[in-house]
Amino acid sequence: MTFSFGEITGGRKKKAAEDCCCAPDLCCDDRCVPVVVRDVDGIPTNVPNDACSNLLPEAFTVDLTGTPSFGSSNCFNGTGTITFKTALDGGQECWEGPVSGSCVDCNGATFNWSFLIRLCCMGQRRFSVQLAPIGGTICPALALGTEGDATMCDPFLLSVCWPEFGGCFVGCLDDNQMPIPEPSFVVCAEIYETP
């Protein structure tokens, strides 16, 4: 893995690893990513980040809430943990992990879902958050991305919503067994650290 240094707006220095999310020295006020890759005796090694004294945690809790366009489906409501991963861990210098759950769809069938959530630092208080279906989940069909500013940095709190998506279920039927449109969903997340 190679590193390069360059100027960014305002004359501050920014360190970025090739082929990974941006990892500025300061992600959120005076806080920075918890782990960096350094050469230790000729071997790339994960080490605690010494760029600041108040590191962000290695893990965050993610609470998902899925709001249907109609009806009372509780699909896409769930809680999980995302963990900081460097390229040595198979990650992208971001926090990532699965959030899974199940619900009953509009036809009364159990619908299992699983998303990979990836949180990447983009700069001072700014983060990108990706939601990607995993484990056979068909909805949404593609990864969705959004960006947001942290509401708080110490302890960390970020709230975001992804674009609305549908196509989750096989057609639904009303009480007269007539097809009706399936609901679409807006999924939102609160990502936070436990103080």
With contact defined as beta carbons under 8 Å apart, do 176 and 140 qualify? no
45-95: pLDDT as tens digits: 999 998 888 999 999 999 999 999 988 888 999 999 999 999 999 999 999
pLDDT band at 25 (very low <50, low <70, confident <90, very high): low
Lowest mean pLDDT segment, chosen from 54-68, 138-152, 165-179: 165-179
88-103: pLDDT as tens digits: 999 999 999 999 999 9
Distances (CA, A) of 137 to 75, 103, 132, 152: 12, 13, 9, 32
- Please state the domain extents for the chain: 3-55, 59-192
Q: Quote the pTM value.
A: 0.82
Distances (CA, A) of 176 to 30, 126, 168, 171, 179: 60, 49, 22, 14, 9
